[in-house]
Structure 1
């Protein structure tokens, strides 16, 4: 029987109700509530579980920076002897030991969304370095060489946080942009708004902002609106979630680099099921990226 369960940190009792040995778990980097990207990720995992007829449980730490909570989740899942875990890592290096423990216990493991440091664990996710370059290259085409720009960084201990920043930085510096600020906002919209306000105070002539996810890009939009500068500054995000697509269509956010979170999560579940069945799976599977502007944003809202 197919059974799909959803929870946050307090999930152990739920998993016990299922047959743990036949249960596949996605531990997301952050909660779905308030984040369209993780909501779509959750939907993709559920849909694939239903399609394959397997039990799927979706869990997450309270926030995308709560590494210890995610480590604790994985430890609990190992103790319950689940069939497989798809991990969107909050901190790849910190999670590496518990991932090794899971493998030693016979639990199948894949990384999703962001790559881990365990080199023998398959990864299903976007090439975030290239995605960052895509966003940066778009900004290069829209702005004059020498324009002042800023980058809002995600959590830099994650591979996708570092890769998106490095990709955007490479593209922007390569076309002659002047990066006047590169500051972390930890994927958070409110924090990004505050950080952008500070950046604007010190750099009133800024012409572009790259946000390493849409939450942060939308926070930058709010700061620019409050400063009456939005019409003079382009903002590029990452994920192309529904909120971002609506903002693009409204003429506020300029563009976003689209991922495919539903597909990504589904591929993660498929990989775990295949590994459990003794099948080989690719070490890297990239669902791809697309630049979303007003021309194609309608299909993402």
Structure 2
């Protein structure tokens, strides 16, 4: 009888050890997702957050989502990251608000052995685990070539840029600029609107006033493109000035279907969030991941805009 009791005690202890070991897996991980802006203010970031939350739920990860109030608020993101580093999160998945300004903060994460993965926007910090996102230069070139084809390589065009210290924005602008110059389009204006819709409208009004013969515009994101479309509409020139955006958010897709925008370059923000969490867990479990994971781009025009308009 004593032997049976002893065996049962041993079995209970073994089961307890197994349970404790299981609890030390992904369910014990706390991962920070810090985007360049809140998901509530931009459908793109909302999709990134949704992908991250779905992956975290599937893997049993505790996900903390904290983002600055605006894409230009570098110091707010620094404060968020340093607070979470002090709280010893297990990993950081971040879309940096600046290509270099956060490097000293990332150094603090590295000192505490907290892996850092970049999504959407790459940066200069050399110790990142991986970059997960769009080849933004290729995406910008896709939008630029569309304008080349539609305008047959002739006429004046403009570029509305975002925050040029942001790697993703700069790469889109460079890709579009190079493609349009190669086909013979004349770039007569290149003005910033800081990823803001109201500023996009204001900048476009200025372009139309100073360069009334402009025939096409590449905007580095859809919020600026939608603002530009409003300015063009107010001048009664919808359809005469072709506007290409970037992100293919639902409102932009709807504008394409109405003929107020000509096209947008779609990314896959859901996969950025999803792959970010999945690869963070892989690293925490001792696995290696690729240094660069491309989530792809698609040109959205009237032919396929309906699937992005929901």
TM over 0.5: yes
**Counterpart of 2:176?**
168
Q: State how far apart, in whole Å, the 1-side matches of 2:244 and 2:153 are.
A: 17
Q: State how far apart, in whole Å, the 2-side matches of 1:265 and 1:215 are.
A: 21
Q: State how far apart, in whole Å, the 2-side matches of 1:146 and 1:178 are.
A: 8
* Superposed counterparts of 1:188-203, under 5 Å: 188-203=196-211
SS in 2 for 1:210: strand
- 2:38–2:68 Cα contact (<8 Å) kept: yes
TM-score by length of structure 2 reads: 0.89
**Counterpart of 2:64?**
57
Alignment RMSD (CA, Å): 1.3
Q: State how far apart, in whole Å, the 1-side matches of 2:46 and 2:32 are.
A: 15
Give the unaligned 5+ runs of structure 2: 1-25
- C-alpha displacement of 1:276: 0.6
- C-alpha displacement of 1:20: 11
Q: What is the CA deviation profile of residues 142-168 of structure 1, one whole-angstrom value per residue up to 9, with x for unaligned ones?
A: 003331000010110011111000000
- C-alpha displacement of 1:299: 1.1
Q: What is the CA deviation profile of residues 234-281 of structure 1, one whole-angstrom value per residue up to 9, with x for unaligned ones?
A: 100101111111111111111000000001111011111111111101
Indicate whether 1:179 and 2:176 are aligned: no
- 1:30–1:60 Cα contact (<8 Å) kept: yes
Pick one of 94, 105, 115 that aligns with 2:112.
105
- C-alpha displacement of 1:116: 1.3
Q: State how far apart, in whole Å, the 1-side matches of 2:188 and 2:154 are.
A: 11
- 1:21–1:82 Cα contact (<8 Å) kept: no
Q: State how far apart, in whole Å, the 2-side matches of 1:269 and 1:103 are.
A: 18
Q: Which moved more, 1:235-244 or 1:31-40?
A: 31-40
- 1:128–1:163 Cα contact (<8 Å) kept: yes
Q: What is the CA deviation profile of residues 94-120 of structure 1, one whole-angstrom value per residue up to 9, with x for unaligned ones?
A: 011111210111111100000011123
* Superposed counterparts of 1:122-271, under 5 Å: 122-271=130-279
**Counterpart of 1:29?**
36
Q: What is the CA deviation profile of residues 30-61 of structure 1, one whole-angstrom value per residue up to 9, with x for unaligned ones?
A: 11223111111111111111111111111110
Could you say which structure has the larger radius of gyration? 2
Q: State how far apart, in whole Å, the 1-side matches of 2:27 and 2:60 are.
A: 15
TM-score by length of structure 1 reads: 0.92
Indicate whether 1:278 and 2:295 are aligned: no
SS in 2 for 1:235: strand
**Counterpart of 1:295?**
303
SS in 2 for 1:163: helix
- C-alpha displacement of 1:191: 0.6
Q: State how far apart, in whole Å, the 1-side matches of 2:263 and 2:66 are.
A: 30
- 1:36–1:243 Cα contact (<8 Å) kept: no
Q: State how far apart, in whole Å, the 1-side matches of 2:41 and 2:69 are.
A: 12
